[in-house]
């Protein structure tokens, strides 16, 4: 389902959907202590938002709706194969966490549970060795469960008393009773009641931090910028609300992918993100705000893109990223620290490779005159070219990259292009040819091995263009009759707001995965199955001020016409209720 999230341990690589599912299923393991806790009568009405209980060092939180109708809608997204993966994992979770403990969600949990459940994750350094070594865990570091109906919740203690084999240990931390269980062949839990919230964790240290937060320590909700961001994007119809502390989140993901820590901490990005998640008829919509600390060197671009260059890309474009200022985009990209370790080509490797192969300094020789709008697109060859029997490029390459940049120094750009052509001729002995494509003059060269073609030239308005890969220059020169922004799929996927914007992103996932001649790396089986559940992805971003950026993201998903098995089961359970 592709909002996949990696957690701290290797066994916690479930999709975000699975993490959402754990929110309601985990209650079966920890709520059995509830009858002991409600007798403490320490509910405080002033705690209304569960994120106020989450310590500030959490790198990811998700407050997720418990509305069964929205869950049924969620379970109807995807392909048959992706739903089978999800439903199998949900069934295993339900068996391990509810059925094995003698509980039924509809009968024992749902009647008293509030409108949303909050999950929180912490970095490995915040977790105890026992939790880190628990490879079977699929739990978040912390779960906050709102108690909506106290009377019905108290009915659980009757069931808890009648069950044997549960060993509870009571301790006190700062005047709050904490109950911990150590059931054989099961996970360990620490449980406490704070106001009208039941908090559950596998880690006693995390529970203590939550109590500290309850007593006045800084929470996620009280961090600078959080409340203001939430106020701007909050909606009553959202399925979930997410918070991400980007540097810690990326460091945790990099650790999970076995990256070296020193590679991810050279330039830490001090950035936070909040977003609402809304289930739309054809996919999942995200509306969010990201902000950096005022002293951060990373500043969002203040130049709107105007969508000029995407208008020059053909309707067949598989993917595109565009923005108002390529230099500021590059600065942002290079300063993201941990994120760079997760990208196939890091900024340092890209610059080193460019210097080694072409003798060009990316920042001095290229970025120095690239200060305007840019667009980078993946464009497939036309069916006519692919159909040519004597086309030497169709077999190894089915698409090419096209980069368009509005330049600020045309003479500087001309000098760099001449330097590039001279190097191709002198160092690689490849013919550099001045040619025309559809009446447009340009320079072209082709590698005899591999069929890699490259072109560069000028478009109206001081726009320089490059193509690399398959011979796709004819797709962008002259301006296509059917452009990308006119394509129905692009219009239905890429959000129209914020407007004006500073950048957009679009990817036709289905066509890209199904293109047999793109020579893409093979994804692992489960990741490929989940990716095939996606049709397209669209993103639009805009600057609010020097430190804040607003964005809308839409993931268009395949959708089944009939309810999934899990949805039917849940519907059946509801119908059995009096």
Q: What tens digit of pLDDT does each residue of 127-167 get?
A: 655 544 454 444 688 989 898 887 776 676 556 555 655 66
Expressed as residue numbers, the domain containing 302 is 297-546
pLDDT at 403: 96
Residue that is last in its domain, among 170, 199, 218? 218
pLDDT at 497: 93
Residue 567's pLDDT band (cuts 50, 70, 90): very low
67, part of any domain: yes
- Which residues are within 8 A (CB) of 440 and not within 5 positions of it... i.e. 6 or more apart? 457, 477, 478
- Which residues are within 8 A (CB) of 193 and not within 5 positions of it... i.e. 6 or more apart? 34, 37, 38, 40, 42, 43, 147, 177, 199
Residue that is last in its domain, among 218, 240, 264? 218
501, part of any domain: yes
With a pLDDT cut of 70, the percent of the chain lying above it is: 72
- Decide if pLDDT at 56 tops 90: yes
* pLDDT, mean over the chain: 78
- Please give the backbone phi and psi of residue 288, each rounded to the nearest 5 degrees, phi first: -150, 175
574, part of any domain: no
Burial of residue 93, with CB atoms counted within 10 A of its CB: 0-12 exposed, 13-18 middle, 19 or more buried: buried
pLDDT single digits (tens) 15-35: 333 333 333 333 332 222 222
State the alpha helices, DSSP H only, in 282-360.
326-334, 347-358
Q: Are 210 and 142 in contact (CB under 8 A)?
A: yes
Q: Are 257 and 6 in contact (CB under 8 A)?
A: yes
269, part of any domain: no
283, part of any domain: no
Q: Are residues 342 and 449 in the same domain?
A: yes
Give the number of domains in the chain: 2
Q: For 524, which DSSP code?
A: P
372, part of any domain: yes
- Decide if pLDDT at 561 tops 90: no
Q: Are residues 390 and 497 in the same domain?
A: yes
Q: Are residues 45 and 157 in the same domain?
A: yes
Residue 101 vs residue 492, higher pLDDT: 492
Q: Are 467 and 453 in contact (CB under 8 A)?
A: yes
pLDDT at 170: 86
Q: Which of 16-20, 74-78, 328-332, 559-563 comes out lowest in average pLDDT?
A: 16-20
DSSP-derived 3-state class of residue 477: coil
Q: Are residues 214 and 302 in the same domain?
A: no
243: left (phi over 0), alpha (psi -120 to 50) or beta: beta
pLDDT single digits (tens) 462-497: 999 999 998 899 999 988 999 999 999 999 999 999
Any bridge partners for residue 458, and if so which? 464
248, part of any domain: no
Highest mean pLDDT among 39-53, 75-89, 285-299: 75-89
Q: Are residues 412 and 525 in the same domain?
A: yes
562, part of any domain: no
Residue that is last in its domain, among 174, 203, 218? 218
The Cα 130–Cα 135 span in angstroms is 10
With a pLDDT cut of 90, the percent of the chain lying above it is: 40
The Cα 454–Cα 560 span in angstroms is 43
Q: Are residues 190 and 90 in the same domain?
A: yes
Q: Are residues 312 and 182 in the same domain?
A: no
- Decide if pLDDT at 328 tops 90: no
Any bridge partners for residue 191, and if so which? 179, 200
pLDDT at 307: 66
The Cα 53–Cα 187 span in angstroms is 23
Q: Are residues 308 and 210 in the same domain?
A: no
Q: Are residues 213 and 330 in the same domain?
A: no
Q: Are residues 180 and 317 in the same domain?
A: no
Residue 273 vs residue 397, higher pLDDT: 273
The Cα 338–Cα 254 span in angstroms is 7
- Decide if pLDDT at 382 tops 70: yes
The Cα 517–Cα 29 span in angstroms is 50
Q: Are 532 and 502 in contact (CB under 8 A)?
A: no
Q: Are residues 376 and 517 in the same domain?
A: yes
Q: For 345, which DSSP code?
A: S
Q: Are residues 303 and 401 in the same domain?
A: yes
């Amino acid at each position: 389902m592709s909002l996949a999230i990696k957690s701290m341990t290797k066994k916690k690589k479930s999709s975000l959907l699975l993490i959402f599912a754990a929110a309601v299923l985990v209650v079966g393991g920890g709520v059995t202590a509830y009858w002991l806790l409600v007798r403490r009568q320490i509910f405080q009405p002033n705690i209304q938002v569960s994120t106020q209980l989450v310590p500030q060092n959490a790198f990811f939180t998700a407050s997720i709706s418990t509305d069964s109708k929205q869950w049924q809608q969620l379970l109807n997204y995807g392909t048959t194969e992706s739903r089978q993966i999800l439903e199998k994992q949900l069934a295993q979770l339900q068996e391990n966490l509810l059925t094995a403990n003698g509980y039924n969600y509809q009968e024992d949990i749902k009647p008293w549970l509030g409108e949303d459940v909050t999950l929180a994750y912490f970095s490995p350094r915040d977790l105890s060795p026992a939790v880190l070594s628990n490879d079977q865990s699929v739990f978040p570091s912390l779960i906050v469960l709102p108690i909506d109906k106290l009377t019905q919740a108290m009915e659980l203690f009757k069931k808890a008393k009648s069950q044997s084999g549960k060993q509870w240990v009571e301790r006190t931390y700062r005047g709050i009773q904490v109950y911990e269980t150590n059931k054989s062949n099961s996970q360990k839990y620490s449980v406490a009641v704070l106001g009208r919230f039941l908090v559950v964790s596998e880690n006693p240290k995390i529970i203590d931090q939550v109590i500290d937060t309850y007593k006045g320590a800084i929470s996620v909700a009280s961090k600078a910028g959080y409340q203001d961001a939430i106020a701007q994007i909050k909606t009553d119809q959202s399925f979930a609300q997410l918070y991400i502390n980007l540097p810690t989140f990326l460091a945790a993901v990099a650790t999970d992918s076995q990256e070296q820590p020193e590679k991810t901490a050279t330039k830490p990005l001090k950035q936070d993100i909040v977003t609402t998640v809304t289930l739309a008829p054809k996919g999942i919509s995200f509306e969010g705000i990201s902000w950096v600390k005022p002293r951060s060197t990373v500043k969002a671009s203040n130049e709107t893109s105007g969508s000029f260059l995407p208008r020059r890309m053909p309707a067949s474009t598989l993917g595109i990223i565009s923005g108002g200022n390529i230099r500021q985009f590059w600065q942002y990209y290079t300063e993201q620290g941990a994120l760079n370790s997760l990208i196939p080509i890091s900024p340092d490797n890209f610059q080193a490779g460019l210097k080694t192969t072409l003798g060009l300094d990316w920042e001095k020789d290229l970025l120095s005159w690239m200060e305007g709008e840019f667009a980078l697109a993946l464009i497939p060859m036309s069916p006519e070219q692919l159909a040519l029997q004597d086309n030497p490029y169709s077999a190894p390459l089915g698409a090419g990259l096209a980069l368009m940049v509005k330049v600020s120094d045309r003479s500087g750009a001309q000098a760099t292009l001449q330097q590039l052509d001279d190097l191709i001729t002198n160092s690689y002995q490849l013919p550099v040819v001045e040619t025309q494509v559809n009446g447009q003059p340009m320079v072209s060269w082709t590698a005899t091995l591999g069929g890699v073609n490259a072109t560069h030239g000028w478009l109206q308005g001081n726009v320089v263009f490059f193509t690399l890969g398959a011979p796709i220059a004819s797709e962008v020169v002259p301006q296509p009759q059917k452009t990308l922004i006119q394509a129905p799929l692009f219009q239905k996927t890429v959000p129209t707001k914020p407007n004006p914007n500073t950048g957009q992103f679009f990817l036709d996932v289905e066509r890209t995965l199904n293109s047999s001649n793109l020579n893409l790396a093979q994804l692992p089986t489960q990741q490929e199955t989940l990716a095939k559940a996606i049709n397209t992805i669209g993103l639009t971003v805009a600057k609010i001020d020097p430190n804040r950026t607003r964005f809308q993201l839409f993931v268009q998903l395949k959708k089944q016409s009939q309810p999934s098995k899990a949805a039917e089961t849940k519907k059946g359970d509801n119908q059995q209720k009096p």
